[in-house]
Amino acid sequence: MTVKYQRQNTNFQIAHFIAGKHHTPDAAYFELKNLQKDRQGALQREESTRLRFKSRRIKLEQQIKSQDESERLIAEADLIDLSNEEQEYYDLVESSKAELNFINECIEKIQPLRKYSHLSDIEAAEACQAEEWGFELQRRAENFMLTSGTIPSDHFNTMRLHPDFETKLLPHIEDIHQALQQPGGSAKLLALTKRDDTIPKLLGLTKTDE
């Protein structure tokens, strides 16, 4: 069950399921950069939202001075609702700031591990594609074989389109078959393909922290 409280993503989600799901530091870096841009955009709207709250409050305070009791009571009720709305909004702002701080810390931690940090972000995003896709296709093949015993034809076709199919992906498929044919094959395959948890650990969350 996913649990969130005033956050777009929790630190746990970022470390394990968003940035941490990637196989290479460069891909994790770009996932974090996308999160960073999203949270920065949300916070950039803080000033305009604050001014709108102020404008609404001025209008309501003026309406409270009305001689019409009905209008005055509605304005008082709206002012209470506005105060609650403001409090909720600024609580979310603080949560967004905390989330952005964690994302920035993650970017700093992942930076030294990157293979293509010497390139511009646009160039690096392209340069890391083949390696990241290769690892991802391997992982999908493992999951298919473990759960259904076969690789679907559409996924196999995608694997064949990868430039490293013959040198890396096909040998990996053969290793999967060999592992599964042995007694206790599923356990052996899981041991053979155990995920490197360097990235989630690096981002500050280990099993004991959970």
State pLDDT tens for residues 80-95.
Answer: 999 999 999 999 899 9
pLDDT of residue 3: 60
Pairwise CA distance, residues 13 & 33, whole Å: 15
Pairwise CA distance, residues 179 & 177, whole Å: 5
Residues 70, 71, 75, 78, CA torsion sign: positive
User: Which of the residues in the chain have pLDDT under 70?
Assistant: 1-6, 191-193, 196, 204-210
Residues 42, 46, 48, 54, CA torsion sign: positive
Domain ranges of the chain: 11-118, 128-196
State pLDDT tens for residues 26-52.
Answer: 999 999 999 999 999 989 888 899 999
Is residue 16 within 8 A of residue 200, CB to CB? The reply is yes
Is residue 202 within 8 A of residue 110, CB to CB? The reply is yes
- Nearest C-alpha neighbor of 6 from the set 30, 39, 37: 39
Is residue 123 within 8 A of residue 116, CB to CB? The reply is yes
**Amino acid making up residue 44:** Q
What is the H or E stretch that residue 139 is in? helix 129-147
3-state SS assignment for residue 133: helix
Is residue 29 within 8 A of residue 114, CB to CB? The reply is yes
Q: What DSSP character marks residue 65?
A: T
CA 180 to chain centre: 33
Residues 176, 194, 139, 126, CA torsion sign: negative
pLDDT of residue 5: 63
3-state SS assignment for residue 151: coil
Look at the chain and count its residues: 210
Is residue 93 within 8 A of residue 46, CB to CB? The reply is yes
